[in-house]
Structure 1
Amino acid sequence: MGMSVTISGATEHDAEQILKLQYLCFQSEAALYGNYHIDPLVQSLDSLRREVASDCVFVARLGDEVVGSVRGRVTEDGSARIGRLCVHPRLQGHGIGARLLRAAENALAEQRGATRFRLHTGHRSEGNLRLYRRVGYEAVGRSQGADGVEMIVLEKQVAADSFAATA
């Protein structure tokens, strides 16, 4: 590859690149469900900027280019909701998604006191489901997204050593 991909916290200057990347990456999900109104495709830049300012948002960079992103926040019950994990299609399959997920989990547990992690993905999204299972998530239920897509809800508990390893 020539350059190595680095994982770091997102800044307000990353918001536009994250939004463009998110739009690109979620096209395949939209096609899978025949629904181009899924939340990641209709999010506004202002909404994303608010998330970057308040939530735990990480990016993967290849040089100056944002090639991956994930975000999370801790809810009142101590659960960390993780979402919008995406990696540029040309770089998928190289472990970047798992590294982003690990960085978010570490920060949410260590800095924000999360006691468990919760995320969701569409019921037909086999690649996503494989990744989440491989890193320790288990299906705990189903829900319907505001966009009408049937979602599988997955969780894992924060392990005592979950933030000992770095991304």
Structure 2
Amino acid sequence: MGMSVTISRATEQDAEQIFRLRYLCFQSEAVIYGDHRLGPLTEALADVRAEIASGIVCVARLGEEVIGAVYGRVTADGAGEIDGLCVHPRLQGHGIGARLLRAAEAAVTESSQVAAFRLSAGNRSEPGLRLYRRLGYRATGRAEGPDGIPRIVLERTAAVGQDPDAGTAVYAATA
């Protein structure tokens, strides 16, 4: 026992585990909204593979098992966008989501200088919203997701050198 959780970039070999994990994790969101058309519940394995090939995907592992995942990318306006954060239901509440989010921010920052990070969460997704606020994200607007779910858009400044636990966490790019 005593295995620790590791965070790393996803590889093509992780695609099926990520696909299954996302499907499992977003079931509770579907119940909250009474809608099973959420993106992670309708995506194909090929979509996950494409995200790994073209974007930034970080995973949390417990041994060989992928127990968490998050997507990151740089948007056309130069912001770092974080999407699809999920942690296996049996392991939520242990800081894995925060570690994944920080890893995605760091990976995005390594690929491009960004002035801000942006993400969105369903307006009834309280556990996620609490996590994002705790990590320094502030609501900046509302939007409707491609699945029709009302979402809250949150952002935080990407200011290098600030304390990660002070609410405005950022990580400098490493050479």
Alpha-carbon distance change, 165 to 89 in structure 1, aligned in 2, over 3 angstroms: farther
Superposed, 1:1-167 pairs within 5 Å as: 2-161=2-161, 162-164=170-172
* Structure 2 gaps, min length 5: 162-169
Contact preservation (8 Å) 1:109, 1:115: no
Contact preservation (8 Å) 1:58, 1:103: yes
Larger mean CA deviation between 147-156 and 157-166 belongs to 157-166
The aligned amino acid for 1:93 is G
CA distance in 1, matches of 2:111, 2:149: 32
Report the 3-state secondary structure (helix = DSSP H, G, I; strand = E; otherwise coil) of the residue aligned with 2:3: coil
Measured after TM superposition, the shift of residue 43 of structure 1 is 0.6
* Count of residue pairs brought into register by the alignment: 166
Contact preservation (8 Å) 2:109, 2:172: no
CA distance in 1, matches of 2:101, 2:54: 18
Report the 3-state secondary structure (helix = DSSP H, G, I; strand = E; otherwise coil) of the residue aligned with 1:52: helix
The aligned amino acid for 1:86 is C
Report the 3-state secondary structure (helix = DSSP H, G, I; strand = E; otherwise coil) of the residue aligned with 1:3: coil
Measured after TM superposition, the shift of residue 165 of structure 1 is 9.8
Measured after TM superposition, the shift of residue 6 of structure 1 is 0.2
CA distance in 1, matches of 2:173, 2:115: 17
Measured after TM superposition, the shift of residue 7 of structure 1 is 0.1
Measured after TM superposition, the shift of residue 91 of structure 1 is 0.4
The aligned amino acid for 1:141 is G
CA distance in 2, matches of 1:4, 1:129: 26
Report the 3-state secondary structure (helix = DSSP H, G, I; strand = E; otherwise coil) of the residue aligned with 1:76: coil
> How big is each residue's C-alpha offset from its partner over 1:92-134, in whole Å with a ceiling of 9 and x where there is no partner?
0000000000000011112222221110000001101100000
Residue identity over aligned pairs, in percent, reads: 62
Q: CA RMSD in A?
A: 1.4
* Structure 1 gaps, min length 5: none
The two structures have a TM-score, normalised by structure 1, of 0.96
CA distance in 1, matches of 2:173, 2:2: 25
What stretches of structure 1 move > 4 A for 4+ residues in a row?
Answer: none
The two structures have a TM-score, normalised by structure 2, of 0.91
